[in-house]
């Protein structure tokens, strides 16, 4: 794996030299834009809006627009010289239970591996975190932005998860949620029964990206020259509206037949989609 950042973990007076690696490899198929007549690649140029010249990366600087069409520019050296602890360190400022953090804050995951000189301190922090059952809350600057982050232990390696700042989370304001609706006790009881029937241990290996798999198969067939036919879409039938209690009963019965299947799979296997009201 390619190192994307080098620095240290710091908490209290302890500094642990580490390297950062992306923990996720995007596997979605990426499409290029082509000219339909000759299959030539459509290119995007870095072109100056003023002089209309194509420019190289060496001719590009970072600029902040402080008012319409007015900028102040910065060199990489100026940005790196900012006196912020998180630029060269994963600055741990607190330790909290992971359950205290709402998943809406999490953004991207990275592996944090130790430099040889920091292995003992790395192991010490790992053992202490595991014994306490907590995660570190930290600040770290990556790619010209300071991030809130957590650092936790997974399979003997630290995982850094960058987080959104609180003011980046939009408030959930939906007028529909302000309307009063009556949920009857028997409906709640049946809904809880359905949840119980579908409850299981989380096993990520049991899930797969079905869209990507089918897309890869389609790519392979096209590469081999197979003719691909597109079936005509059937006329969309109006959604059947059924009583909420009846929908719950049917869902519980279906769940009992095949415990462990995802609810969407069960609905599709029944050959219909329902909208409960």
- Give 260 or 92, the one with higher predicted confidence: 92
As a whole number of angstroms, the distance between CA 220 and CA 84 comes to 50
Beta strands in the chain (DSSP E): 5-11, 14-22, 62-67, 70-74, 89-96, 106-114, 135-142, 145-154, 157-163, 240-242, 274-276
User: What's residue 248's pLDDT?
Assistant: 82
User: What's residue 31's pLDDT?
Assistant: 78
pLDDT at 263 > cutoff 60:
no
Contact 62, 74 (CB under 8 A): yes
pLDDT tens across 153-193, in order? 999 999 999 999 999 999 888 888 888 988 889 989 988 98
| Burial status of residue 251 (CB atoms within 10 A of its CB: 0-12, 13-18, 19 or more) | buried
Helix, strand, coil tally for the chain in percent (to 5): 35, 30, 40
User: What's residue 237's pLDDT?
Assistant: 66
Least confident of 38-47, 68-77, 234-243: 234-243
Contact 18, 90 (CB under 8 A): yes
CATH number of 5-24+81-168: 2.40.290.10
Residue 119 DSSP one-character state: H
Mean pLDDT, residues 10-38 taken together: 83
251 falls in which pLDDT band (50, 70, 90)? confident
Mean pLDDT, residues 6-10 taken together: 89
Give the residues across from 21 on adjacent strands: 111
Least confident of 39-43, 143-147, 192-196, 262-266: 262-266
Contact 59, 107 (CB under 8 A): no
User: What's residue 26's pLDDT?
Assistant: 73
133 falls in which pLDDT band (50, 70, 90)? very high
pLDDT at 254 > cutoff 90:
no
User: What's residue 272's pLDDT?
Assistant: 45
Domain map (residue ranges) of the chain = 5-24+81-168, 180-198+242-268
* Highest mean pLDDT pick, 39-53, 142-156, 248-262: 142-156
pLDDT tens across 195-250, in order? 888 888 888 888 888 878 888 888 888 788 887 777 777 666 665 656 778 888 88
User: What's residue 108's pLDDT?
Assistant: 93
pLDDT tens across 88-123, in order? 789 999 999 999 999 999 999 999 999 999 999 999
H-helix or E-strand containing 210? helix 210-223
User: What's residue 240's pLDDT?
Assistant: 63
């Amino acid at each position: 794996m390619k190192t994307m950042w080098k620095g240290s973990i710091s908490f209290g007076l302890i500094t642990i030299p580490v390297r950062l690696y992306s923990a996720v490899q995007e596997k979605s198929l990426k499409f290029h834009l082509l000219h339909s007549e000759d299959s030539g690649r459509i290119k995007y140029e870095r072109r100056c809006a003023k002089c209309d010249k194509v420019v190289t990366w060496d001719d590009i600087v970072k600029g902040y627009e402080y008012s319409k069409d007015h900028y102040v520019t910065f060199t990489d050296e100026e940005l790196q010289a900012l006196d912020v602890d998180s630029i060269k360190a994963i600055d741990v400022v607190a330790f909290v239970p992971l359950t205290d953090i709402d998943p809406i804050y999490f953004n991207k995951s990275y592996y944090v591996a130790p430099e040889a000189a920091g292995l003992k301190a790395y192991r010490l922090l790992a053992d202490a975190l595991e014994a306490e059952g907590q995660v570190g809350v930290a600040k770290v600057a990556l790619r010209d932005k300071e991030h809130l982050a957590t650092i936790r232990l997974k399979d003997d390696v630290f995982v850094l998860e960058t987080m959104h700042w609180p003011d980046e989370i939009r408030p959930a304001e939906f007028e529909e949620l302000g309307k009063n609706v009556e949920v009857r006790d028997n409906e709640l009881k049946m809904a809880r029964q359905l949840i119980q029937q579908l409850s299981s241990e989380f096993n990520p290996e049991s899930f797969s990206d079905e869209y990507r798999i089918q897309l890869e198969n389609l790519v392979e067939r096209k590469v081999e020259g197979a003719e691909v036919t597109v079936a005509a879409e059937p006329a969309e039938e109006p959604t059947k509206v059924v009583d909420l209690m009846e929908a719950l009963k049917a869902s519980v019965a279906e769940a009992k037949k095949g415990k462990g299947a995802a609810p969407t799979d069960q609905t599709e296997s029944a050959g219909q989609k329902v909208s409960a009201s």
